[in-house]
Every structure is written in structure tokens, then in C-alpha cells.
Structure 1
Amino acid sequence: MSGISTASLLEEERYAEFVELEDVLGNLWKGIRNVVSIEKNELYKGMKLGFYFIMLPGIPVLCHVTGIVQGTGHYLDRVWLANQYFLTPSEDLKQSWVMVKDAKNELLKLKAGREERYFESVSAPIFASPSRNEKLHIFTDTNNTKIGTCISPKFVMADTGFHYRINNGEKMFIQSVFLLFSDDYLPHDALKDLDNVKFDPEELDL
């Protein structure tokens, strides 16, 4: 998050717990959330963050969504919130690959374990390897959220980023990110219905 480093965020008070969260469509998601209460950072003192990792029972989709309770005493403008996902498609990194669609709408298949490369994608990136049947798709609304992928000699990762504005006393959920497992390649448009999965900020009880 802009204005506070990951190391500083880890120094703040935090805890994890099991949680249930109902979306606006009436689906009950279950999983865990990590709650961080910021008190040491002067800019964000009084803010609470809830990082949810939740699933629908029996469905191979993980939803990652961040809830914010803004109690800093002042308005926050264009705060940048980023998330990183480090992935292991294969124990042999050189057998891992990612498929992305770039800004020119060209489909690229990139192998990991070699040189470091970073791409911003305009569709859901797909991570896979010959060692497993499942492909991992990472989907979010790319109209509102940046999604990028990075391959290197040492790791494979994806990241998402979102700018938001929030008034003091306000609650909000940041755009959800979905991690889907499928034996088939799923085109981005086939996942668009996930944009309808939203959460009511009034459900936030951090």
C-alpha cells in the first residue's frame, strides 16, 4: 500500500480467524481472513484492513478480497493497494509457464526459470506446467484493476493493483481477485460473470 512498506505493515497488530461472508447474490463464502490494525504508521493510523481468502464449498475458486475500515481522521485520495501471488506450477521452475494477453491483444506463452520478464495483462493470465492437469486462472475486472505477471530464474508470480479513494469513517471492499483451477483453458469472457460477485461493505466487522 502506498505510504507504508510491507515490512512496516507486518509490525502492526494483526490476527487471523475463520470467517463466513455472504455476497450480494446470496452466496455464502467460507475461509479465513487476516486482520491488520494500523497504529504505528502516521498516515494510516486508525485504519483496519481485512484480507479475505474465501471459497464456495465444493467449487474450485478462491476469492481474495480486501476490506477497509477507514478511521484515520482524514480523507485518503488515490491510495495504491497492491497484492502479490507467488506461484509454483511445477517443482521444476523451468517446466512452468504463463499465458498472457498483452496490450496489443496478442497471446503470449512465456516459460519460467530463464530470464526475468514482466507483463501487464488485459485478460486473466493462465499458469500451468506439464506436471499437473489443472491450469490456474487469475481473474479480476481489468477495467478497474491492473494485473501483471512476472517470470524469472527464481520465481513465478502475479500481482494486482488498484487505486481507491475513501472518506474517514467509510467502509469498503476493494475489487475481488479470483483464482480458478480448471483442466481446460478458460477464455477471459467466460469468467466475466465473476464481476457480479460483490460484497456489501456493511458486512465488514473488523
Structure 2
Amino acid sequence: MPNVIAINAAARQGIIAAQATSDEMLLESIATGGRPAMHILYCRHNVRVYRFILRIVRDTTMAEDLVSQVFLDVWRTARQFEGRSQVSTWLLSIARFKALTALRQRRHEDIDQEDVLEIADQADTPEASLDRNDTSAILRACVAKLSPAHREIINLVYYHEKSVEEAGEIIGIPQSTVKTRMFYARKQLAELLKGAGVDSLAA
């Protein structure tokens, strides 16, 4: 009979090893056909990619389909990753291209301006989610009123915690342009929030 303690220990070691594996190492394995590595990368980044796409296309069904396309591209092109940016930045670049292409191809341009509901982080408790609910709803409504370019900058920097350099790589614009857009986006958002009864935007 197998030693249950030994099996459990081995399973724990496997989980720890997977968590310690960098995205770059996973891509190297994916490039050689490593399906387990692809599964780990997907589990690690699919929610972030989905949120990012959803804020662009504002359609849950389309966003889910595009996430699948993004990771299919990763599977096919992993060996083309050159390591000049973070893997997460590379993923969002692919996601942005897919999302904008899908929007152009969509015949009806009457994009619904309703607020897109946040997907709660798994680490959130119900109490924490409820505490943030009102403020988050106001923030989403104000962000939705920004121009597409300004909304995209806020999305990348605040929701995806990308640096000015990384945001520039994803969008394909100089860092100076990112800083300019960020300045005006923050200014406009602060005015919208003030009008909605929120005094200031956290730095």
C-alpha cells in the first residue's frame, strides 16, 4: 500500500515547485511543448487578462473567447518571446491587439456604456468586498466616462499595476506620451470623482 504521507509530501513539493517557477521558465517549457507549464501560466494570468480585455470590449462572452485566443497564441508563439519585457506585459500586449481587432471587426459600434462589474479576487472576503462596493462602483462609473485613451492608461497603471515603461510597451507609445496621458487622465478622473462626492483619487 502506498505511503499516504509520502504521496502528500510529494504533492506539496510539486505545488511549491510550480509556484516558484518564473513566467520566463514556463515560457521556455511551453516553447518545447510543455503542457503542464501552459496550464500553470494560464492559471496564473487568465483572470488578469480577462479583466483587461473586458474593460476594452465590455462584453463578457467576447472577452472569454478572446482570452482563449490569447493563450492559444502564447502556445503557438512562446519561442518568439525575447525577454525584453515581463511576461505579463507581453500577455497584455497580445490581449490588447486581440481586443482592439475584435472591436474593429464588430459590425455594431453601439458599445454598451454600462459599468463593467469587477470580478472579485479570490482572496477577498465578503465583508471586504461589501466595504468597497460603493466606492468601487463610483470609481468604475467615473473611469467609464474617460476617453478611450485615458481609460486605457488608468486601466493599465491602477488596475494592472504597470509602470510607465510597461504601459508604453503595451500600447506602443513613448513614455513621455504615457506620462502626458496619465496627467490628464488623473486630472479628469479627479474632477469626475469630486462631482460624484469622492474628494480625491489615491496616488
Structure with bigger strand share is 1
Q: Same fold (TM over 0.5)?
A: no
The alignment's TM-score, normalised by the length of structure 1, stands at 0.23
Greater length-normalized contact order (CA 8 Å, ≥ 6 residues apart): 1
